[in-house]
Structure 1
Amino acid sequence: MKSKLFTPINIGAFDLEHRLVQEWPLAADPLDAAANQSMPCSGPLLSGGLVLHDPGALIWPAQTLPLDEFDRMESIWRNLMHQAKTSRQSPLARLRGDLTLQVPDQPDGILALSQRDIERIIADYVDAAYRAKSSGFDGVELDGSSGSITDLFLMRTTNPRSDRYGGPIAQRLNFALELVDALTQVVGRDRVGIRLSPFPHGFDQERSQIYDKVLSSLRDQEIAYIHLELTEHLSARVLNLALPAKALRGAYPGIFVASGQQSLPFAMELVESRWADAVCFVNPVVDAQFLNELQQAQQGDPDPLN
C-alpha cells in the first residue's frame, strides 16, 4: 500500500503532489559554481513538492551587497526559481531570525530595543519579503526557532521587557503576531509559514504552555503552515501519547510540517500517525541510495531500506 507521505496535499496556496519537503538552509551563493552543486534535486522523484531555500545576502540583509552584485544575484536566483517551477516545485525563502543580523551592535538582547528599533526590524523583514517575491520565490518561511529573535520575545527568561512586548505571554506574543501579519500583507496569508521549536531539549512544561498559546494565537492568522523542529529523536508514538505534544497538535488545527529524524521510515510513520501533515528533510543526501529508497517507498515497498 502506498504511504500517505506520497499522497497529494494542499498547503496554503500550494497544491503539492507529495508531503516530503526539502530544505536547503545554507546560503548557496548562485555566483559560486561549487555551491550550485548543492541545489535541490529536481528529478521526477522529488518534483511537485515544497522546497525551502536560504538565499543568504540576496534577501538578508541585502544592504551588505553592492548594487551590481545584488542585481546579478537576483537575476540568477530568479532563473533558479523558474527552473524549480518548471519541475513543479514550490520554492519558499527562509527569513532568518538572528538578532545580530538585525542589530549588530546590540549586546544586551531584546531588552534595550526601543519601539523604533522594533518597528525597523519588522520593516526589514517586510523588505526582505518583497525582495524574495521579486526574485521569484512563491512565499516565505519566518525563522522563529529556538534562539531566534521571535523566540527571544516569547520566552520569559529572555524577555524582561515591561512594555507592550513584555510581561504576560499575551504581550510577549505581540512581536511575533505583528511580524507575521506584516509578512502576510506582502505575499499573502496562504504563502507564509513560520518555523518554531517547542521542544528544543525535550518536553519542558513552561515552554510547552507558551507554545500552546502561540499556536492558538496563530490560528487566527490563517497562514499556510507551522514548521515544527523536533530536535530530539521523538517517535510518532511518543508525539501522539505525550501530553505536551498532544496539546500542541490540538491547539492548531492547520498544517503541521515537522523536521526531525532524517529517514524515510520516520517520515512515513509520522505522517501516517496524523501528528504531522508533511515532513521536512534538511539537506537530504540525494544520492543513488536515497533515490532508490525513495523510489521503493513511492511504489509501496513496506520496507524501503531492504
Structure 2
Amino acid sequence: MTSSLFEPVTIGALSLPHRIVMAPMTRSRSTQPGDVPNAMMAEYYAQRASAGMIITEATQISPEGKGYSFTPGIHSDEQVAGWTLVTNAVHAAGGRIVLQLWHVGRMSHESFHPDGKPVAPSAIAPGAQVWIADPETGEGGMVDCPTPRALSTQEIARVIDDYRKAAENAKAAGFDGVEIHAANGYLIDEFLRSTSNHRTDGYGGSVEGRIRFAVEVAETVSKVMGADRTGIRFSPFITQRGMDDPEAPATILTLAKELNRIGLAYIHLAEADWDDAPETPREFRIALRSAFSGTVIVAGGYDRDRAEAILKDGLADAVAFGRPFIANPDLPRRFAEGLLLAGFDGATLFGGDAGGYTSYPAYGVAA
C-alpha cells in the first residue's frame, strides 16, 4: 500500500520531498542576554532537516512581543546573525526551514515591559500564566499574566510595521519562508475573538473589523517574503486563555477567504493540543477547503495512522508533528521503515543545555 505521507508536495514556492512537517515547539534555549539563537540551536534544527519542512519555534518580532523567558527574537542584528547559523546548518543538511513570527499580546508578564503592561486589543486579562525564569540561574516557574493595556490605533500601525521588519530580518537570515502565528491566544488571535476584542474602532466590533489586523499583517509580510513563502497558523477551537468564542471558527473562515485573495501559501491548523479542545469538525475542514485554495497543514496529537487517514481523505495536504520530533530527529525515516519511536524527557523541554535537546540520537546510533 502506498503511503500518502511520503508523496512529494508543493507548498507555495517550496517543493517538499514528503508531507511530514516539523511543528513549531518552544524550547527556550536562546543565548542570554538578548534572546539570541546560537550554535546549539543550529545543531538541533539541522539534526531534524529530514523533515519535509521545519517550522521554527515561535520567535518574537519585537521586545514588546515577548512573553516567555529565553525564547528567541528576530528584531536585532545579533538575532539575525544567530538565525543565519540555523538556516545555513539546515540548508547544508538538505532541509527547508520557515520562521514563525510571534507577538504574544497579553500572554506576557510585567517584567518584560518598561511600563509593566503587555499590550492587547482590549484591556482584558487572559486568566492564564506564562513561564518566567531568573536570567542568572535559569530557574523559573509559571506566573499570572497581568491585565494588559489596549493598543491605540496608531500603535497598531507600528506593530504591523514590526511584522514587516521581522519579515525583512527573516529574509536576511536566509529563511525559506515565514509563518504568521495567529493561534493559541496570542496577539492576532486576540484581535479575532469577541471575547478578547471589545474595540469600537475599525479593528473591532464586526467580523470585518476583527479580522482587519490579521489581513493587514498578512498583506505586509507577503510584500516582503512573497505570498508564496508566507503561511499562517490558527487554532479555531481552543477555549483556554480567554479564547472561548463560539464565533471563532466562522470568523477564521471569513479571514481564510481574504488570505486566499492575498495568495498565502498555507494555513496551519493547531488542533487538539489542549485538554479542553474539541475535535475539529469535518464540516469546518470542508468549509476551509472551500474558502482557501492553498495548502492546509494540520497538527495536534497526530500519529502515522491518523496522518495517513486525513491525507487520504483530502482534508489536509501535510501533517506537522511536534513532540515525536523531540526524541526522534530522524522521524521521517522511522515512519518510513516502521522503526520504534523513542520517548523524550519532559524535564528537559524548556531551558537548559544540550541534554534532552541535541542529545537524542538517530535510530541505531549510540547516545
Deviates more, 1:220-229 or 1:253-262: 253-262
What is the SS of the residue equivalent to 2:88?
helix
The answer on whether the counterparts of 1:21 and 1:280 sit within 8 Å (CA) in structure 2 is yes
TM-score by length of 2: 0.68
Q: Using the alignment, how far apart are the partners of 1:242 and 1:287 within structure 2?
A: 30
Deviation string 1:8-41 (CA, Å, 9 cap, x unpaired) is 1110110111111113432543766665553353
Structure 1 range deviating more: 198-207 or 142-151: 198-207
Instruction: Provide, for residues 182-209 of structure 1, a one-character-per-residue CA deviation record: whole Å limited to 9, x for no partner.
Output: 0011111111110001122499752222
Q: Residue type matched to 1:175 in 2? A: F
The CA RMSD measured in Å over matched residues stands at 3.4
Quick check: 1:276 aligned with 2:316?
yes
* Closer/same/farther in 2, CA of residues 173 and 74 from structure 1, 3 Å limit: closer
Bigger RCO (CA 8 Å, 6+ sep) = 1
Q: Give 4+ residue runs of structure 1 displaced > 4 Å after superposition.
A: 30-37, 70-73, 100-103, 201-205, 288-292
Cα distance change, pair 63–168 in 1 and its aligned pair in 2 (3 A) = closer
Among the aligned pairs, what percent are the same residue?
29
| Aligned: 1:120 with 2:126 | no
Task: Name the residue aligned to 1:29.
Answer: 30
Q: Which runs of 5+ in 2 are unaligned?
A: 32-36, 67-75, 123-149, 340-367
Q: What SS class does the counterpart of residue 21 from structure 2 fall into? A: strand
Equivalent position amino acid for 2:121 in 1: I
Matches of 1:133 and 1:228, distance apart in 2: 24
Distance (whole Å) between structure 1 residues aligned to residue 97 and residue 119 of structure 2: 35
Q: Is the CA contact (8 Å cut-off) linking 1:201 and 1:232 kept in structure 2? A: no
Among candidates 201, 208, 224, match of residue 186 of structure 1: 224
Give the 5 Å matches for 1:1-306: 1-26=1-26, 27-29=28-30, 38-42=44-48, 46=50, 49-54=52-57, 56=59, 60-61=62-63, 71=77, 73-100=79-106, 104=113, 105-106=116-117, 109-111=120-122, 112-201=150-239, 205-231=246-272, 242-283=282-323, 284-287=325-328, 290=331, 293-296=334-337
1:50, distance to aligned residue in structure 2 (A): 1.0
Kept in 2: contact 1:150–1:176 (CA 8 A): yes
Count of aligned residue pairs for this structure pair = 286
- Check the 8 A contact 1:28/1:38 in 2, yes or no: no
TM-score normalised to structure 1 length:
0.81
Counterpart of 1:67 in structure 2 is none
User: How far apart are 1:78 and its partner, in Å?
Assistant: 1.5
The answer to whether the 8 A contact 1:92-1:138 is kept is yes
Stretch moving more, 272-281 or 194-203:
194-203
- For 1:165 and 1:4, locate their aligned partners in 2 and report how far apart those are by CA, in whole Å: 41
1:71 is displaced (CA, Å) by 4.7
Letter in 1 for 2:238: P
Q: CA deviation at 1:268?
A: 1.7
> Relative to 1, partners in 2 of residues 1:174 and 1:86: Cα closer, same or farther, differing over 3 Å?
same
Gaps of 5+ in 1: 65-69, 299-306
**Structure richer in helix, relative to its length:** 1
